Amino acid sequence: MSAMDREALLSSVKALVEAEFSADGLQTEVFPDDPDEFIRKYLKSQQGALLLSYAGGRKIQRSGEYAKDRLFVVDLVVLARAQLGDAGALSHLRRLEAVLDGRRMVTGAGQAFDLETLDDTFLGEENKVWQYLLRLGCSLV
């Protein structure tokens, strides 16, 4: 996947996530160069953030053989000041999954991707900021 294709995929997912979560006071950003600085500076007055990054790709294995198809992986990190409740990290994580799992995305360049949830993971809590990861698989249609 070229850098331009990665950017188009991330932009498409970002636009969808922003549309769904902006009313909640969550900022949606491509993963920053310095996440610790982002948390210190941005989260002082906000509910939290959703951070996206391209996490790589791999060949899809079918029936013991590798196919030519590739699965591209997008990570979304949920940052929230609460773990539970409507404004909590777990609530945002489940809503993200509901919005994105099984969705077909079409980038501005006309490429279509099907999204599927691969897994989610608790990353930790630091300075009362709860962090969870939602990993999505994106397969070219």
How far is residue 27's CA from residue 22's CA, in Å, rounded to a whole number? 7
* Spatial strand order in the sheet of 104-106: 26-30, 48-62, 65-80, 129-140, 112-126, 104-106
Domains of the chain, start order: 3-140 (3.30.2000.10)
pLDDT value at residue 118? 95
Q: What is the pLDDT of residues 96-127, one digit of tens each?
A: 999 999 999 887 778 888 999 999 999 999 88
pLDDT value at residue 99? 92
Q: What is the pLDDT of residues 47-85, one digit of tens each?
A: 888 999 998 887 776 666 555 577 889 999 998 888 888
pTM here is: 0.83
Q: What is the pLDDT of residues 35-56, one digit of tens each?
A: 777 777 776 657 888 999 998 8
Q: Is 5 exposed, middle or buried (0-12, 13-18, 19+ CB in 10 A)?
A: middle
Structure tokens at 14: 């970002």
Structure tokens at 27: 């900022």
Tracing tokens 């790589």 back to the chain, one arrives at: 56
